[in-house]
Amino acid sequence: MTVMRALHRRFICGWLALALTLLTHAAHAASPIVWQPWSNAAFEQAQAEGKPVFLYLEAVWCHWCHVMQDETFGSEAVVSLLAEHFVVVRADHDAQPALANRFRDYGWPALIFLAADGTELVKRAGYIAPDDFVRLLTAIAEDPTPERRSVRASARVGDALNEAEFDRLLATHIGDHDAQRGGLRLPQKFLDRAHVEYDMTRALAGDPAAARRARQTLDAATGLIDPAWGGVYQYSTGGRWDRLHFEKIMRSQARYLRLYALAYAQWQVPEYAAAARDIQRYLMDFLRGPEGAFYVSQDADVVQGEKAGDYFALDDAARRKVGMPRIDRNRYADANGQAAEALAVWAAASGEADALAAAEQAVRWTLGHRRRDDGSFAHGDHDIGGPYLSDSLEMARALLALHAVTGQRDWLREATTTADRLTPLFAARDGPGFLTSVADGTPVAPVATIAENLDAALLFDQLHHYTGEARHRRAAERALRFLASPQVRAQRFEESSVLLADHALSAPPLHLVVVGAKDDPAAVALHRTALASPGIRRRIEWWDRREGPLPNADVAFPAFDRPAGYFCTASRCSAPSFDADQYRQRIEALIAAQAADNP
């Protein structure tokens, strides 16, 4: 058959209460498809009519089951093909564990095609879009024999790019990697956020070449870490990683800390955790003020204008005898947002409470000292212009990161308040994207930058999944349209930003939900497991029913008598987990199964 191969994996079933079974039966009645229950009568009918049986095995708590029901099974073409060529059966895997245990897989929904004699023909796991499902049904109807070979699915391409342009950008992205030394093929060596993050995203989806590229660069970039004080130097020159420029700027500290934290969660490499701790140590010891706010940078020179290579070769004590490079003690909102987000991401990956406490303290200080009356942020104590996009953008990202790590809804509300000011203040009036500032009255008009629009696209995409608000999706698309514009796509070494944003808006993030009281130790352990899981784009929620419905209650979860953890990828969901080890194993298994589906 010309049908993709089925995955043969394990899942562990959970039991649902009778009320949930009744809910499922009610949903069946509303379906345009005339479903049968699982019974011998279905196979007798299949034998008499010469048709295969299609078994749709679902779970009432499974988000992708609901999407499959609404979109795929709502398609007239799908309904027609199923009625003409198949005997259709629907079953709740929690209510019928015998079926769940027989058709073992790592995700839901499960889609199984059987001959009238019970022979398995084709198995699929996860959501299939209507057009793809029509092709699958047509292929099986034309050749209802067991599939024998594998044909991989084509890569998903975001709405902003056609396939040819996507392929061109991907080839350029791969070609820009320095296969000998890591990093970009530039005289300057540094950890490029978009390039590495996109490769990490592809690596998690099953691309081993992307994993090698990302890890080569992450490994090489540890050479930029100051061995005495920690923190990362700005960059190296000469196409090497050992000709250092010794500035230490907050943006670099935050970007590197965040990437090493995410890399540690993804690969569990001890050196990545050590790199993250070295950067955190520097932030806490050198760039943090007594009130918990963060400073901006530290100079490369002890004596202005004199090279300091010999100085930075010294250990801590010897350096201090000579003097201290100047620290810029301005406490800008964007720098504090960058530091707080990175520390929150590191706290999620490592469980280090002091990192989370520092992030929260910095955000609270910035809320108290930089928040404007309209919900946006000022830059510093005495701004000469502005407001600036970066201040509100970086703070919104930090606030949303704190919501993910703590489960506290106040942080989500604050993130939403700030993000909602970005469009009226900074949206370009005569084109796509967000401008770097409001007009300042000079003839020099503000412009849209690639880095800020990438951050805006990712922020609004993630916020959309947390809130369910269409305005946040529209804002993400506004930023993506700028990134996907011909003038941006033509710029060398910027293709990774376009690909990263396009990927984000093409598929939902990994979705991890813990249902349980926040003072229940079992729920706390499940949430810690969710936080430590791999993935750059994640929607992590902690639903304590005492707080009311989740802000975006797009998935119905059953009411067990104990905390439960759930996990969904872009097309399938795990069974509920009731302890941390089980939850971790199911997360790992589902990610592996999803990666196996990708080319």
Break the chain down into helix, strand, coil percent, rounded to 5: 50, 10, 40
Domain boundary among 84, 109, 142: 142
Q: How far is CA 519 from CA 16, 60, 410, 525, 542, in A?
A: 24, 27, 17, 11, 12
Chain segment 348-378, per-residue pLDDT in tens: 999 999 999 999 999 999 999 999 999 999 9
Write down the pLDDT at residue 32: 84
What would the DSSP string read from start to end of 234-269? SEE-TTSSSSEE--EEHHHHHHHHHHHHHHHHHH--
Average pLDDT over every residue of 325-336:
95
Chain segment 158-200, per-residue pLDDT in tens: 446 788 999 999 999 999 999 999 999 999 999 999 999 999 9
Domain boundary among 110, 125, 142: 142
573 in Cβ contact with 62 (< 8 Å):
yes
- Confirm whether 558 is domain-assigned: yes
Q: Which domain holds residue 57?
A: 18-142
Residue 26's pLDDT band (cuts 50, 70, 90): very low
For 281, counting Cβ atoms within 10 Å of its Cβ (0-12 exposed, 13-18 middle, 19+ buried), the class is middle
For CA atoms 401, 406, 412, 415, the dihedral sign is negative
Q: Residue 18 pLDDT > 60, yes or no?
A: no
- Confirm whether 243 is domain-assigned: no
- Confirm whether 113 is domain-assigned: yes
- Confirm whether 101 is domain-assigned: yes
Write down the pLDDT at residue 150: 38
Q: Are strands 538-543 and 510-515 parallel, antiparallel or unpaired?
A: parallel
Residue 153's pLDDT band (cuts 50, 70, 90): very low
Domain boundary among 121, 142, 163: 142
Q: Residue 85 pLDDT > 80, yes or no?
A: yes
Ranking 40-49, 98-107, 447-456 by mean pLDDT, the lowest is 98-107
Helix (H, G, I), strand (E, B) or coil at 144: coil
Average pLDDT over every residue of 561-587:
92
For residue 525, give the CATH number of its domain: 3.40.30
Average pLDDT over every residue of 406-429:
98
Average pLDDT over every residue of 338-345:
98
Write down the pLDDT at residue 103: 66
Write down the pLDDT at residue 162: 87
Residue 10's pLDDT band (cuts 50, 70, 90): very low
Average pLDDT over every residue of 382-399:
94
d(CA 301, CA 52): 76
- Confirm whether 478 is domain-assigned: no
Query: Could you tell me the two tokens for 585?
Result: 């194993």
Which of 459-462's residues contact partners 24+ apart within 8 Å by CB, and which partners?
459/393, 459/396, 459/397, 459/400, 459/419, 460/419, 461/504, 461/505, 461/509, 461/537, 462/400, 462/504, 462/509, 462/537, 462/539
What would the DSSP string read from start to end of 4-60? PPPP----------HHHHHHHHHHHHT-SS--B-SSHHHHHHHHHHT--EEEEEE-T
Residue appearing with tokens 């050479």: 223
Provide the whole-model pTM: 0.86
Query: Could you tell me the two tokens for 395?
Result: 């703070």
Helix (H, G, I), strand (E, B) or coil at 406: helix
Q: Residue 485 pLDDT > 90, yes or no?
A: yes
d(CA 186, CA 208): 24
Residue 102's pLDDT band (cuts 50, 70, 90): low
d(CA 50, CA 475): 52
For residue 135, give the CATH number of its domain: 3.40.30.10
Write down the pLDDT at residue 74: 94
Residue 281 or 305, more confident: 281
Residue appearing with tokens 């930089």: 370
d(CA 442, CA 440): 6
Q: Residue 61 pLDDT > 70, yes or no?
A: no
Q: How far is CA 379 from CA 291, 370, 416, 491, in A?
A: 17, 7, 19, 29
Residue 303 or 332, more confident: 332
- Confirm whether 85 is domain-assigned: yes
Q: Residue 8 pLDDT > 70, yes or no?
A: no
Ranking 146-155, 404-413, 456-465, 516-525 by mean pLDDT, the lowest is 146-155
Residue appearing with tokens 């499959």: 68
Average pLDDT over every residue of 404-410:
98
- Confirm whether 27 is domain-assigned: yes
542 in Cβ contact with 593 (< 8 Å):
no
Phi-psi region at 238: left, alpha or beta (left = phi > 0; alpha = psi -120 to 50): left
Residue 250's pLDDT band (cuts 50, 70, 90): very high
Write down the pLDDT at residue 555: 87
Please work out, in degrees rounded to the nearest 5, the angle formed at the alpha carbon of residue 178 by the alpha carbons of 173 and 181. Answer: 150
Considering only CA atoms, which of 251, 238, 253, 233 is closest in space to residue 181? 238
Helix (H, G, I), strand (E, B) or coil at 125: strand
Residue 271's pLDDT band (cuts 50, 70, 90): very high
d(CA 570, CA 535): 12
Helix (H, G, I), strand (E, B) or coil at 297: strand
Whether omega before 486 lies within 30 degrees of 0, making that bond cis, reads: no
Chain segment 131-151, per-residue pLDDT in tens: 999 999 999 999 999 986 433
Residue type present at position 279: I
d(CA 334, CA 322): 32
Ranking 52-61, 399-408, 552-561 by mean pLDDT, the lowest is 52-61
33 in Cβ contact with 85 (< 8 Å):
no
- Confirm whether 270 is domain-assigned: no
Helix (H, G, I), strand (E, B) or coil at 364: helix
Write down the pLDDT at residue 307: 84
Largest CA distance in the chain: 92
405 in Cβ contact with 347 (< 8 Å):
yes
Average pLDDT, the chain: 89
Helix (H, G, I), strand (E, B) or coil at 510: strand
Chain segment 463-479, per-residue pLDDT in tens: 999 999 999 999 999 99
When divided into structural domains, the chain yields a total of 2
Query: Can you give the three-state secondary structure of 70-89, one letter per residue?
Result: HHHCCCHHHHHHHHHHCEEE
Alpha helical stretches, state H, 371-408:
389-406
Q: How far is CA 351 from CA 239, 261, 356, 437, 466, in A?
A: 36, 11, 8, 36, 23
d(CA 577, CA 565): 5
Write down the pLDDT at residue 303: 87
